């Protein structure tokens, strides 16, 4: 069952080959047996899942089921889930039980999806390896000595290991695409504003976007169909009409114009990854696409710009965690100041503190113009590069990451090396563009991701482009040994 697509599972449920309760039990059994090796879940909501599955079975019997009714999924622990711990991977929120559901959670539940639990993540979504979680690192199911990527590493590992049919994630600088690449699955970061951020714990509000981690583009389309769309509770939610993503999957690719940015194939990229990306591009040529080289000249500035803007926004967003209103409070504070200081010192981990300090610095009087304002200007140049590129091409392709998954601990003491993981993913966040990663030919047994970036609100096109490749190749079907 765990290797079937969401469409197959949905068809089986309708034919009563098994019930949603049986399917849910099957995944819960896999989580209990296999997840102690991976640590991909922070919370497993077995009882609630079985109750939701029983309700889904009723809908299936009465013929009122939708495409996701009875399908077991997981949510990144950054999404508020009513009555269920929402930790954001942090000691700070370890005691926090959310009093409401995030819009994304609410919509998927309304569509009949069954929530198996909440997945592990880098603390407050800051990281590229899932090693900054208060709940310990997640292991990559392809090699348990390696990281799954981050920050949505729990979701990526859980989907790759077939512990759930699909999962939600968030992507501020690459946190859906990079772990998808490292774990050999499909990860979509939609256009900024397509999926509501309401009820999603904020990291860097102008960059954060909810999205999907799934085994295929077709599965991702099933979830996005339910998640996308205007939400009046999120002031940056886009008032656009949302197409049917599943309907567009099979569109023909003849005449598709693919741009390959010169800057994405330079130094720093493992040449063997570059070769595999070019093999995938040739597959697209066989499917009728035409290829041209393009330039995104300001993309080398994306990482430095991101590491001014994201910490600035995080220092402001995380000011609310003061030991008074939410989550962790230190023991026996001597006065108010001691309460603030020790609650934050004990509640946050090292990476979060580093970002808060950088953010506070770049926003302070005297430095605001030199760093924050300058970074916002360069951000506009990066966005303009993409605008020019999309006058010539329909989609942009390149590697998702410069390397395959690295060993646990390898980059923990070198934040800059860790930050450089996101060199190819961050530009899309700065420009608010949709982008996805799909698995292509692996390298030495480890997954490799192809990144496809589209113009604003071109998710249907991206999923279509990814799906056609998955139609003629089988890389996305490979399961990590021992998890098949």
Of 49, 222, 310, 428, the one binding ligand GLN (CB under 6 A) is: 310
Of 175, 298, 343, 437, the one binding ligand GLN (CB under 6 A) is: 175
Instruction: Check: CB of residue 444 under 8 Å from CB of residue 404.
Output: yes
Give the residue with the Cβ less far from ligand GLN, 127 or 323: 127
Provide the residue count of the chain.
484
Q: Kindly state whether residue 303 participates in binding ligand GLN, applying the rule CB under 6 A.
A: no
Smallest CA-to-CA distance from 305 within 217, 200, 206, 393 is with 206
Beta bridge partners of 293: 260
CB of 240 to ligand GLN, least distance (A): 23
Grouping H, G, I as helix, E, B as strand and the rest as coil, residue 39 is coil
Of 70, 127, 137, 259, the one binding ligand GLN (CB under 6 A) is: 127
Q: Could you give the angle at which helices 20-38 and 46-61 cross, rounded to 10 degrees?
A: 150
Compute CA distances 25 → 31, 57, 223, whole Å: 10, 13, 21
Q: What is the Cα–Cα distance from 95 to 286, expressed in whole angstroms?
A: 54
CB of 370 to ligand GLN, least distance (A): 22
Active-site position among 19, 87, 128, 151: 151
Instruction: Check: CB of residue 26 under 8 Å from CB of residue 53.
Output: no
Smallest CA-to-CA distance from 415 within 65, 35, 132, 15 is with 132
Contact window for ligand GLN (CB under 6 A) among 26-34, 80-88, 121-129, 140-148: 121-129
For tokens 């199911």, the residue is 141
Terminal CA-CA length for the chain: 10
Give the residue with the Cβ less far from ligand GLN, 300 or 333: 300
Judge whether 76 counts as a catalytic residue.
yes
Judge whether 334 counts as a catalytic residue.
no
Give the residue with the Cβ less far from ligand GLN, 166 or 310: 310
Peptide bond connecting 26 to the previous residue in cis, omega within 30 degrees of 0: no
| Sites for ligand GLN among residues 385-424 (CB under 6 A) | 422
Q: Kindly state whether residue 313 participates in binding ligand GLN, applying the rule CB under 6 A.
A: no
Active-site position among 128, 175, 216, 237: 175
Q: Kindly state whether residue 449 participates in binding ligand GLN, applying the rule CB under 6 A.
A: no
CB of 306 to ligand GLN, least distance (A): 7
Smallest CA-to-CA distance from 229 within 277, 258, 194, 186 is with 194
Give the residue with the Cβ less far from ligand GLN, 45 or 429: 429
Give the residue with the Cβ less far from ligand GLN, 263 or 422: 422
For tokens 């968030």, the residue is 170
Judge whether 90 counts as a catalytic residue.
no
Q: Kindly state whether residue 216 participates in binding ligand GLN, applying the rule CB under 6 A.
A: no
Give the residue with the Cβ less far from ligand GLN, 260 or 426: 426
Beta bridge partners of 114: 72
Enumerate the active-site residues.
Answer: 76, 151, 175
Site residues, ligand GLN (CB under 6 A) = 125-128, 151, 171-175, 203, 310, 422
């Amino acid at each position: 069952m765990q290797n079937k697509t969401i469409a197959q599972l949905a068809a089986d449920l309708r034919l009563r080959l098994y019930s949603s309760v049986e399917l849910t039990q099957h995944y819960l059994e896999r989580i209990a047996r296999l997840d102690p090796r991976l640590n991909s879940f922070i919370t497993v909501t077995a009882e609630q899942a079985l109750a939701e599955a029983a309700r889904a079975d009723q809908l299936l019997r009465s013929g009122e089921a939708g495409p996701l009714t009875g399908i077991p999924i997981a949510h990144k622990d950054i999404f508020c889930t009513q009555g269920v711990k929402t930790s954001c991977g942090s000691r700070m929120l370890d005691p926090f039980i959310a009093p409401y559901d995030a819009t994304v959670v609410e919509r998927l539940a309304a569509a009949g999806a069954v929530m198996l639990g909440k997945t592990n993540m880098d603390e407050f979504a800051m990281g590229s390896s899932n090693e900054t979680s208060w709940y310990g690192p997640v292991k990559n199911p392809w090699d348990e000595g390696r990281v799954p990527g981050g920050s949505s590493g729990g979701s990526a590992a859980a989907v790759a290991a077939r512990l759930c049919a699909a999962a939600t994630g968030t992507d501020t600088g690459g946190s859906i695409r990079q772990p998808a690449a490292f774990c050999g699955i499909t990860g979509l970061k939609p256009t900024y504003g397509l999926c509501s951020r309401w009820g999603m714990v904020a990291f860097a509000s102008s960059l954060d976007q909810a999205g999907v981690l799934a085994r295929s583009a077709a599965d991702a389309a099933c979830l996005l169909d339910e998640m996308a769309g205007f939400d009046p509770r999120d002031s940056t939610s886009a008032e656009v009409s949302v197409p049917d993503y599943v309907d567009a999957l099979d569109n023909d690719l003849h005449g598709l114009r693919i741009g390959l940015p010169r800057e994405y194939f330079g130094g720093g990229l493992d040449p063997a990854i570059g070769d595999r990306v070019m093999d995938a591009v040739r597959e697209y040529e066989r499917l009728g696409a035409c290829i041209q080289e393009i330039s995104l000249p300001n993309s080398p500035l994306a990482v430095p710009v991101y590491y001014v803007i994201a910490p600035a926004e995080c220092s402001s967003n995380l000011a609310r965690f003061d030991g008074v209103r939410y989550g962790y409070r230190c023991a026996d504070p001597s006065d108010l100041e001691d309460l603030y200081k020790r609650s934050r010192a004990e509640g946050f981990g090292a990476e979060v503190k580093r970002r808060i300090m950088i953010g506070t610095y770049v926003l302070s009087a005297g430095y605001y113009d030199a760093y924050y304002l300058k970074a916002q200007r360069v951000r506009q140049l990066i966005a303009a590069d993409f605008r020019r590129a999309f006058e010539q091409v329909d989609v942009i392709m390149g590697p998702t990451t410069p390397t395959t998954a690295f060993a646990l601990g390898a980059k923990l003491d070198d934040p800059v090396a860790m930050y450089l993981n996101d060199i190819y993913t961050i530009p899309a966040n700065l420009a608010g563009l949709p982008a996805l990663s799909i698995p292509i030919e692996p390298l030495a047994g480890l997954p490799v991701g192809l990144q496809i970036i589209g113009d604003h609100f071109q998710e249907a096109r991206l999923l279509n482009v990814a799906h056609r490749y998955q139609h003629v190749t089988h890389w996305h079907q490979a399961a990590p040994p021992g998890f098949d």
